[in-house]
Amino acid sequence: MENTYALVKEAICALLKNGAQLEAAPFQIFCAPDAFEAATALPLALQIPAEFLAQRLAVFDHAKPQTLYGVKLVEQVFQSEGRLCFSLTDAFFNAAVRETNALTPLPTLSPRVEGRAEYALSRMLMLARKGGDGCEKEARRMVWSALGILERLDDHKALKIRLTLATEHALSFGESLPLTERMELYGKSGQACACAARCIAQALTALGSMN
Is residue 11 in a domain? Answer: yes
* pLDDT tens track, the chain, 211 positions: 899 999 999 999 999 999 999 999 999 999 988 889 999 999 999 999 999 999 999 999 999 999 999 999 999 999 999 999 999 999 999 999 999 999 989 998 776 777 899 999 999 999 999 988 899 999 999 999 999 999 999 999 999 999 999 999 999 999 999 999 999 999 999 999 999 999 999 999 999 876 5
CA 206/CA 114 separation, integer angstroms: 17
CATH code of residue 33: 3.30.1360
**Boundary residue ending a domain (88, 116, 148):** 88
Residues 127 and 82 in one domain: no
- Phi-psi region at 70: left, alpha or beta (left = phi > 0; alpha = psi -120 to 50): left
Residues 79 and 136 in one domain: no
CA 56/CA 86 separation, integer angstroms: 13
Domain range for 23 is: 4-88
Is residue 209 in a domain? Answer: no
CA 170/CA 147 separation, integer angstroms: 12
Residues 11 and 81 in one domain: yes
**Boundary residue ending a domain (42, 61, 88):** 88
Cβ-based neighbour number of residue 88 at 10 Å: 24
Is residue 211 in a domain? Answer: no
Q: How many structural domains are present in the chain?
A: 2
Q: What does each C-alpha distance from 89 to 8, 31, 75, 130, 179 come to in angstroms?
A: 12, 15, 5, 23, 27
Which pLDDT value is given to residue 74? 97
pTM comes to 0.94
**Boundary residue ending a domain (54, 88, 122):** 88
Cβ-based neighbour number of residue 79 at 10 Å: 17
